[in-house]
Structure 1
Amino acid sequence: MPAPSGNQFWKVRSSHGRAPIFATADALWEACTEYFDWVEANPLYEARPFAYQGDVKVERIAKMRAMTISGLCIFLDISRQAWDLYREREGFVGITAQVDDIIRTQKFEGAAAELLNANIIARELGLADKSELTGKDGAPLVPVLNVSVSGNS
């Protein structure tokens, strides 16, 4: 049975809109550390064949799982936009910055130790070998046309 037309039951609510999932920075930090623990406890697995005296066996090899903000948001059951809002929210700036740093450091160190694909992680972290070519005093390069002029006119 629908509500009567013109009702104002919504005004009876004690608050409007969904309450934040994490009311305090400590609650957010605790949930983030649960994600860090989950990443450590749940590595990715590679099936790798091994041959010994003609006998081939396939073994599962544990590989490091990279932490990501996207993975964190899925784990926390929040959107990426919600994470960005927590980044701006008073009292949460320090925690979100620390979490961002932890995730960035985990990926960087994993790539440096060759536990993660360095090319993928470098792109993810915005690290790239860039070379910029310029002309004299930083001016743009001007193509030089190699034109031979014949004086036989």
Structure 2
Amino acid sequence: MPAPSGNQFWKVRSSHGRDPIFATPNQLWEACAEYFEWVELNPLYEARPFAYQGDVKVEKIAKMRAMTISGLCIFLDIARVTWAEYAKREGFSYIASQVEEIIRTQKFEGAAADLLNPNIIARELGLADKSELTGKDGAPLVPILNVTVSGA
């Protein structure tokens, strides 16, 4: 049975959507700092074989875990769009900006020290060597065909 025509049941709701998880910028900062700490305490592991006098052992080698906004959102139990909304809110935008810079710096420095894959991080950060070839005054290149006629 449909709702009666002209109903306004939606006005009865006390709120629309769930309450923000972080009521203050400081709460958001503290949760982000927990993520940073978690990343440091939970490296990724690579299984690497070692041989010594004919005895082969497989050892786990700790590898740096790259911080990401996606990983942060999973840790905070929020959607990526929710992070973007926090970044727009007054008082929260500074925290969001700082967090994004910390994550970017961690990835850049990890790649520069060869602790993270430099190629993957360069793409992630939008860093690339680009060279573009153009013709005169930026026009597209036009191939010149050399045709030789033989045997006359």
Report the CA distance between 1:39 and its aligned residue: 0.0
Letter of the 1:108 counterpart: F
Unaligned 5+ segments in structure 1 are: none
Deviations 1:85-113 (A, max 9, x none): 11111211111111111101100100000
Distance (whole Å) between structure 1 residues aligned to residue 8 and residue 127 of structure 2: 55
> Which residue does the alignment assign to 1:74?
74
Distance (whole Å) between structure 1 residues aligned to residue 18 and residue 59 of structure 2: 47
- Map 1:1-153 → 2, pairs under 5 A: 11-148=11-148
Distance (whole Å) between structure 2 residues aligned to residue 22 and residue 149 of structure 1: 78
Report the CA distance between 1:149 and its aligned residue: 5.2
Unaligned 5+ segments in structure 2 are: none
Distance (whole Å) between structure 1 residues aligned to residue 70 and residue 147 of structure 2: 56
Letter of the 2:117 counterpart: N
Q: How big is the alpha-carbon RMSD for the aligned residues of Structure 1 and Structure 2?
A: 2.0
Distance (whole Å) between structure 2 residues aligned to residue 93 and residue 145 of structure 1: 57
TM-score (norm 2): 0.88
Distance (whole Å) between structure 2 residues aligned to residue 95 and residue 101 of structure 1: 10
Report the CA distance between 1:12 and its aligned residue: 5.0
Distance (whole Å) between structure 2 residues aligned to residue 126 and residue 10 of structure 1: 45
Letter of the 1:96 counterpart: A
- Calculate percent identity across the aligned residue pairs: 81
Deviations 1:34-84 (A, max 9, x none): 000000000001111111111111111100000000000000000011111
Equivalent residue pairs, number: 148
Report the CA distance between 1:138 and its aligned residue: 2.3
Letter of the 2:102 counterpart: I
